[in-house]
Every structure is written in C-alpha cells, then in structure tokens.
Amino acid sequence: ITKEQEALFGIDKLNVSRSDIPAITHVDYSARVQTVVENEHPRYYRLIKAFEETSGYSVIVNTSFNVRSEPIVCTPEDAYRCFMRTDMDYLVLENYVLDKRDQPEWKEAVDWKSEFELD
C-alpha cells in the first residue's frame, strides 16, 4: 500500500486493492494460508502446480461452496447448479473439469436470487 493509499479513510481506503489476490486477503491485510505438501496430497499438489503454470499464482481459494445464504453444496447436482448460477469459470468434480463456456445455456423457471437474502 502506498503512502497516499494509507492516508485514505473509510470506503476510499477499503476500495484500495489489498493484494494481487484480493479474494484471499482480509481487510487487515492478513490471510489464512495453508500449505500443501506433495508427498501427502499429490493430486491436490499437482492441481495447484498446474494452476500456477496457467495463472502465475500457486494459490487456490478454499471456501464454503454456496452463495446468498443457500445451503452448502452437498451433491454434484448442487455443485453444477451453483456453478451455472454464478460467475465461476470452471468446476472441478473429481477427475472432471467443466468449463462454463462449454456448458449449455442455463435456464430456470424461478429467479433464484429472489429466494435468498443477500449476505
């Protein structure tokens, strides 16, 4: 953070990007970092390395899988529904990687956003 950004207050200061990966950085500039050891979790380690080769970042955000006060995803069907309703680009389910660009258009009879209060 620059000296000029440090001098900001309120919303102006909160709007300053906290890191290259703001989704993992708390407002106090901390993060809950966990490490993955290759010999203990080889598949997950390879996934992180592949993501690093693609993006330049060896970070995967691990959070609850749900939105807008919905129940947490429990089944592949729940995961796919959440994936298609949100701005996620990819969904990984075991050995399968789904690219949203390759999915059929998602249509729903009900406006799901009106079913749940905002977080």
Q: How confident is the model at residue 12 (pLDDT cuts 50, 70, 90)?
A: confident
For the chain, the domains span 64-108
Residue 83's CB is within 10 A of a number of other CB atoms, namely 21
* Mean pLDDT computed over 34-61: 92
pLDDT of 69 > 80? The answer is no
- Residues 119, 117: Cα–Cα separation, whole Å: 6
CB of 3 closer than 8 Å to CB of 16: no
- The pTM score is 0.57
* Mean pLDDT computed over 39-46: 94
